């Protein structure tokens, strides 16, 4: 008999692992070396943490801004996404109407989302026009003192993602278990708290974790809709990186390295937590 | 929750999802929309003419090509890895699965900077680095989708086909691939979206010389007075995807119907 295609040997993993490892590994090492002065664009390497020192407070403010944006948008996305999922699994009619809408939002690129949220929430945007508020009287949601529009755009897109993931995990088993609980005498509130929420929790936490990491590393939304200062890490890094001052490159890499480190730390903290909650089982 | 409360919640959520898309529709057909006016005072197609004049069509073509390239590479990689993770057992599984998910945690702007720094030194063309990085970002999705699909497919189907005389390749082509077709399509669609939607990787690597549709949208949206052309380009980026999303269930249903009729 001719040789069968491998059922699942380690060598089938090799192409994906090599591509991912080579690209991500090379890029990360290059960021690390640039940040510590080992990979200057011109001239001899100057090893040291000068780039971090030069950035100083901006680095910490940028990190704080990134964490604030990611935390707020994730909380909002998780709440709206969970509510949407609960309605979607409840009736086929809702699923037809709201389901198509969430799928649409999911397929909108974040950059397009940022552009259209700008056209909705800025002083000359659709909302003040429709509410009859003069542009000067409208609060500065775009580029103002708080990253309101940034958080809303990220929450808008990611709530569709959370809704999709939670709905997929719920629809398989929910109806049966709900019926069993009802037969056993559980009222609507008990069914929600004792059946639906525990069933949805792993998918909700996993999708919220992914949404957090996305928001934390996202550039274009904060760049288009955010305030000028303080800038979140991605915006700070990209401004320095595209600066004509070549000395700014190690600083850009320093901001990027902080971003990579914090994101990996968050992922490393989240994964065991998710395991304990039964995600991936 | 009462029936009325449920209905109110559905309306509020529909508003939450739909309202941000309304400005795109209105601005894309607005020739004049002075400040304060609730609706455009003059409707027309000037935004579309301007979008074409600014090279919108070739830019959309470049985005589509980027999406197709990412899908063409990331889908087979994900299929191989998904097959290994779902059907096989080896001590490399845990490490590999973690490594393949890693890009989800790594900020794209940071990795793009890392690669851009190396381009000149290593002599790698910018386009190769852009596609390579986007493939790394698409592989977690394709692997996840195809791993799930392989996990619910019985590996013995291939064995049975081979016992009936099929070669290994024939068994793969005529038995496993048709069963996996919907998942392969879904994985390819997700990978396509990674390339089609990308902005930051294209801009950081090679300084934005590859003018894709998002690069034009960003250029317009970061300036003033470009609302119509931004809305037109954004609409053109969204409509094909929405059409695909909305027709996918219909296509799946008709496929299902034709299969059961046979």
Question: CB–CB of A9 and B114 under 8 A?
Answer: no
Tell me the per-residue pLDDT of A186-214, one tens digit each, with 9 for 90 and over: 787 787 778 888 888 888 999 999 999 99
Enumerate residues 6+ apart whose C-beta is below 8 A from A110. Answer: A153, A154, A157, A218, A220, A221, B197, B199
- CATH 1.10.3720.10 range(s) for chain B read 66-198
Tell me the per-residue pLDDT of B239-250, one tens digit each, with 9 for 90 and over: 888 887 777 767
Tell me the per-residue pLDDT of A27-83, one tens digit each, with 9 for 90 and over: 999 999 999 989 887 778 888 888 888 888 899 999 999 999 999 999 999 999 999
User: Are B206 and B116 a contacting pair, CB within 8 Å?
Assistant: yes
CA dist list (Å): B249 to A101, A145, A170, B254: 14, 44, 19, 9
pLDDT score, position B256: 63
Q: How far is the alpha carbon of B56 from chain A, nearest alpha carbon, in Å?
A: 14
Tell me which chain B residues have a C-beta less than 8 angstroms from the C-beta of A129: 36-38
CA dist list (Å): A200 to A77, A84, A196, A247: 15, 12, 6, 49
First-residue to last-residue Cα distance in chain A:
36
**pLDDT tier, B258 (very low <50, low <70, confident <90, very high otherwise):** low
Pick the residue from chain A with its C-alpha nearest to B233.
Answer: A112
pLDDT score, position A45: 84
Task: In whole angstroms, give the CA distance from residue A260 to residue A170.
Answer: 33
Residue scoring higher pLDDT (B180 or A91):
B180
Task: In whole angstroms, give the CA distance from residue A154 to residue A218.
Answer: 9
Question: CB–CB of B88 and A126 under 8 A?
Answer: no
Using DSSP's 3-state secondary structure scheme, residue B42 falls into strand
User: Are A67 and A266 a contacting pair, CB within 8 Å?
Assistant: no
CA nearest to A65, candidates A233, A264, A257: A233
pLDDT at B56 over 60: yes
Interchain contact A199–B (C-beta under 8 A): no
CA nearest to A22, candidates B184, B128, B146: B128
pLDDT score, position A5: 52
Mean pLDDT of the residues in chain A: 88
Report, as an integer, the average pLDDT of A110-139: 93
Tell me the per-residue pLDDT of A224-268, one tens digit each, with 9 for 90 and over: 999 888 899 999 999 999 988 878 999 999 999 999 999 999 999
In this prediction the pTM is: 0.91
Tell me which fold the domain B66-198 belongs to: MetI-like fold (1.10.3720)
Tell me which chain B residues have a C-beta less than 8 angstroms from the C-beta of A252: 113
Q: Which residue has the tokens 């094909």?
A: B240
Tell me the per-residue pLDDT of B95-104, one tens digit each, with 9 for 90 and over: 888 888 889 8
Tell me the per-residue pLDDT of A125-165, one tens digit each, with 9 for 90 and over: 999 999 999 988 999 999 888 899 999 999 999 999 999 99
Pick the residue from chain B with its C-alpha nearest to A119.
Answer: B23
Q: Apex CA A43: angle with CA A40 and CA A45, to 5°? A: 55
pLDDT score, position A188: 78
pLDDT at A2 over 60: no
Question: CB–CB of B1 and A188 under 8 A?
Answer: yes
pLDDT score, position B24: 94
pLDDT score, position A183: 80
Which domains does chain A show, CATH number per domain? 48-276 (1.10.3720.10)
pLDDT score, position A122: 92
Of A17, A98, A119, the CB nearest to B13: A98
Interchain contact B45–A (C-beta under 8 A): no
Enumerate residues 6+ apart whose C-beta is below 8 A from A92. Answer: none
pLDDT at B212 over 70: yes
pLDDT score, position A227: 87
Q: Which residue has the tokens 């059922």?
A: A7
Of A94, A108, A241, the CB nearest to B113: A241
pLDDT score, position A278: 62
Tell me which chain B residues have a C-beta less than 8 angstroms from the C-beta of A16: 77-78, 80-81, 96, 100, 139, 143
User: Are A31 and B140 a contacting pair, CB within 8 Å?
Assistant: no
Interchain contact B112–A (C-beta under 8 A): yes
pLDDT score, position A281: 43
Tell me which chain B residues have a C-beta less than 8 angstroms from the C-beta of A1: 162
Tell me which chain A residues have a C-beta less than 8 angstroms from the C-beta of B32: none
Take residue A149 and report the two structure tokens written for it: 């529009």
pLDDT score, position A255: 96
pLDDT score, position A3: 47
Strand partners, B42: B32
pLDDT score, position A1: 42
């Amino acid at each position: 008999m001719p040789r069968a295609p491998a059922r699942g040997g380690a060598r089938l993993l090799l192409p994906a692992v090599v591509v991912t490892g080579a690209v991500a590994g090379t890029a990360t090492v290059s960021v690390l070396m640039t940040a510590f002065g080992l990979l200057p664009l011109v001239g001899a390497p100057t090893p040291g943490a000068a780039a971090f020192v030069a950035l100083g407070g901006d680095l910490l403010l940028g990190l704080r801004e990134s964490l604030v944006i990611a935390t707020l948008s994730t909380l909002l996305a998780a709440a709206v996404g969970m509510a949407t999922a609960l309605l979607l699994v409840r009736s086929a009619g809702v699923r037809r109407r709201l389901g198509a809408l969430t799928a649409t939002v999911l397929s909108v690129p974040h950059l397009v989302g940022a552009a259209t949220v700008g056209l909705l929430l800025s002083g000359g945007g659709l909302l003040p026009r429709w509410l009859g508020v003069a542009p000067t009287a409208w609060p500065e949601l775009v580029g103002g003192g708080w990253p309101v529009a940034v958080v809303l755009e990220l929450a808008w897109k990611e709530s569709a993602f959370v809704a999709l993931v939670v709905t997929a995990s719920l629809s398989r088993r929910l109806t049966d278990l709900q019926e069993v609980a009802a037969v056993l005498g559980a009222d609507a509130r008990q069914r929600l708290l004792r059946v639906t929420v525990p069933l949805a929790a792993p998918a909700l936490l996993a999708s919220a974790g992914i949404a957090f990491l996305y928001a934390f590393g996202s550039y274009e939304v904060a760049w288009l809709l955010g305030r000028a200062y303080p800038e979140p890490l991605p915006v700070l890094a990209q401004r320095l990186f595209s600066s004509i001052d070549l000395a700014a490159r190690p600083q850009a890499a320093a901001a990027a390295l902080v971003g990579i480190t914090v994101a990996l730390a968050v992922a490393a903290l989240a994964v065991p937590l998710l395991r304990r909650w039964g995600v991936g089982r | 929750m009462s029936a009325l409360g449920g209905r109110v919640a559905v309306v509020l959520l529909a508003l939450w999802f739909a309202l941000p898309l309304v400005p795109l529709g209105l601005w894309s057909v607005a020739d004049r929309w002075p400040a304060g006016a609730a609706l455009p005072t003059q409707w027309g197609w000037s935004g579309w003419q301007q979008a074409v004049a600014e090279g919108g069509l070739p830019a959309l073509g470049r985005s589509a090509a980027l999406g197709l390239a990412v899908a063409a590479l990331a889908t087979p990689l994900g299929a191989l890895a998904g097959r290994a993770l779902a059907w096989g057992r080896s001590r490399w599984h845990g490490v590999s699965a973690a490594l393949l998910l890693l890009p989800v945690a790594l900020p794209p702007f940071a990795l793009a900077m890392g690669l851009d720094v190396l381009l000149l030194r290593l002599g790698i063309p910018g386009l190769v680095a852009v596609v390579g990085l986007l493939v790394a970002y698409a592989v977690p999705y394709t692997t996840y989708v195809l791993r799930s699909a392989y996990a619910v497919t019985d590996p013995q189907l291939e064995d049975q086909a081979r016992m009936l005389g099929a070669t290994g390749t024939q068994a793969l082509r005529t038995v496993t691939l048709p069963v996996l077709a919907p998942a392969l399509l879904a994985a390819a669609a997700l990978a396509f979206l990674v390339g089609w939607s990308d902005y930051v990787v294209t801009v950081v690597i090679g300084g934005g010389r590859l003018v894709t549709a998002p690069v034009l949208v960003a250029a317009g949206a970061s300036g003033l007075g470009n609302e119509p052309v931004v809305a037109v380009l954004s609409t053109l980026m969204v409509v094909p995807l929405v059409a695909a999303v909305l027709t996918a269930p219909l296509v799946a249903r008709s496929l299902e119907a034709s299969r059961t009729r046979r």
